[in-house]
Structure 1
Amino acid sequence: MFNKIMVPVDLSHAGKLTKALDCAGRLAKQFGAEAVYVGVSAAAPSSVAHSPEEYAEKLDAFAAEQAKAHGISASGHSVISHDPSADLDPALLKAVEETGADLVVMASHVPNITDYIWPSNGGTIATHAKASVFVVRG
């Protein structure tokens, strides 16, 4: 049913993504699909990595850990942005196309009042992506 599952991750908050990561891993295993873990980072040094190359290495290592934990095929796909917080949605939409994903599994927060002013990342991706989108709360 699905061949490639894109999973957006924020490596600085990976511990808060457990439910979405488990869901993506189980779906990838069930469908024999490849999981592609996508991370968006700035070129400038951050708390996660000092360079885009180091960020890509850490994302690949994260993908390898997920592959081992779930018994699936996985890879990392890093996207470098001048302002990841402002460019996140367009960067993720572009990554859907670049990776050839036919399903996106992503974590989201419980909706609150600010979602009436600023749309959630999950909502934006679900509205504009050509792939199916599974938004996992919690």
Structure 2
Amino acid sequence: MFKKILVPVDVSVEGDTRKLLQKTKTLTQGWDCEIHVLTVIPNVGMPIVGSYFDEDVVDEGRKAVIETLAQALESEGLAAKQHVLSGTVYDRVIGLASKLEADLIVIGAHQPELRDYLLGSNAARVVRHSNRSVLVIRD
């Protein structure tokens, strides 16, 4: 089956993160696989915007995200390697999947909203642009 699985989560949406981790645990039960869980801290945008944030604020935010991810994994009892990256979500997911040589990306998707039809969701972009197998988990 799949040997290396990447699961991107948004730790700011606790319920969705919990559900996706539970479903990943159920899906991979009995598999001899390595699970990697990724969360991406979005960029603040233009450099001028980022200049208004003190470096300590950014570091504290990153530490909080790392702690939140660790707690989510512990509460679901999922043994996984953690990754916290900054940037554009779909770029980081696709990039890390390639770097890890993941066999499968398990990604959650919400009910599409109007803006998603215009811009495209992160899940849709990962499905379209990744050269890895992608399993989309809907609520």
- How far residue 42 of structure 1 moved from its aligned partner, in angstroms, is 5.2
**Normalising to structure 2: TM-score of the pair?**
0.75
Equivalent residue, structure 2, for 1:115: 116
**Normalising to structure 1: TM-score of the pair?**
0.76
| Cα distance in 2, alignment partners of residues 30 and 10 from structure 1 | 26
In structure 2, the CA distance between the partners of 1:98 and 1:55, relative to structure 1 (3 Å rule), is farther
In structure 2, the CA distance between the partners of 1:97 and 1:111, relative to structure 1 (3 Å rule), is same
Letter of the 1:92 partner, please give it: V
Equivalent residue, structure 2, for 1:21: 21
Letter of the 1:98 partner, please give it: K
The structure that has the greater radius of gyration is 2
Equivalent residue, structure 1, for 2:46: none
The 8 Å contact of residues 21 and 73 in structure 2, kept in 1 or not, is answered as no
Which aligned pairs between 1:1-138 and structure 2 lie closer than 5 A? 1-41=1-41, 45=57, 50-66=60-76, 68=77, 70=78, 73-81=79-87, 87-138=88-139
The 8 Å contact of residues 5 and 28 in structure 1, kept in 2 or not, is answered as no
Paired residues, what number? 127
Where does structure 2 lack aligned partners over 5 or more consecutive residues?
A: 44-54
| Cα distance in 1, alignment partners of residues 63 and 113 from structure 2 | 36
Letter of the 1:55 partner, please give it: V
- How far residue 54 of structure 1 moved from its aligned partner, in angstroms, is 4.8
Letter of the 2:125 partner, please give it: T
SS in 1 for 2:102: coil
In structure 2, the CA distance between the partners of 1:93 and 1:61, relative to structure 1 (3 Å rule), is same
Structure with more relative contact order (C-alpha pairs < 8 Å, separation 6 or more) = 2
What is the percent sequence identity of the aligned residues? 27
